[in-house]
Amino acid sequence: MKINSKSKKINKAWLNDHINDPYVKLAQREGYRARAAYKLKEIDEELKLIHPGQVVVDLGAAPGAWSQYLRRRFAPKEAGTGGAAVGELNGTIIALDLLEFEPIEGVQFIQGDFREDAVLAQLEAALGGRAVDVVVSDMAPNLSGIEISDAARIENLIELALDFSSKHLKPEGALVAKVFHGSGYSQLVELFRQYFKKVKPIKPKASRDRSSETFLVGIGLK
């Protein structure tokens, strides 16, 4: 018996959109692991956050597209193609995620839960006392569909990223973090404003129109 469920229809629609997505095709052509690379690229091109020689922490890094973009930016000569530049690296990239992460040359990876003190201790050890120029966070919790519960989970991750940034960023440093429009969004903007002199919400073109995700960028610690 064939069951034509709603979820199957949704999955089929998503797959169709994914296959025809221009950013998916671009990522495949340029060697990025995911279309998400272009979200960070747009934010960086608008705000000029990433520069060779910096120390950058990539939270929620898997599958690695943001680290690939950072790696390319830190190559002495930016590669025209190929998401993961190889060879000499001018800068430090430390990536962290719960999930496994296929190695990227020059990127130091820590596997673990950012909410755990032991994992944070590993991250701090990897920094070796160096101040961070930019923290980028594509972290997102597993969403339940219950708005109040999901808003609390998102806020918890943002609070952790803000707390880490406040302790480790250079005074003029920046945090880029994924958030979601909906319950709790205005509170997250206010939370950012408690930590940063400048706060800018950005919805990159590479972020799908129907997605509620947006990115908050905080620049310059208070």
Query: Between β-strands 132-137 and 169-180, what pairing exists: parallel, antiparallel or unpaired?
Result: parallel
Rounded to the nearest 10 degrees, the angle between the axes of helix 22-30 and helix 6-20 is 50
User: Cα 25 to the chain's mean position, in Å?
Assistant: 20
Decide if 178 is catalytic. Answer: yes
The residue annotated as part of the active site, out of 12, 170, 178, 198, is: 178
d(CA 74, CA 92): 8
Task: Give the catalytic positions in this structure.
Answer: 178
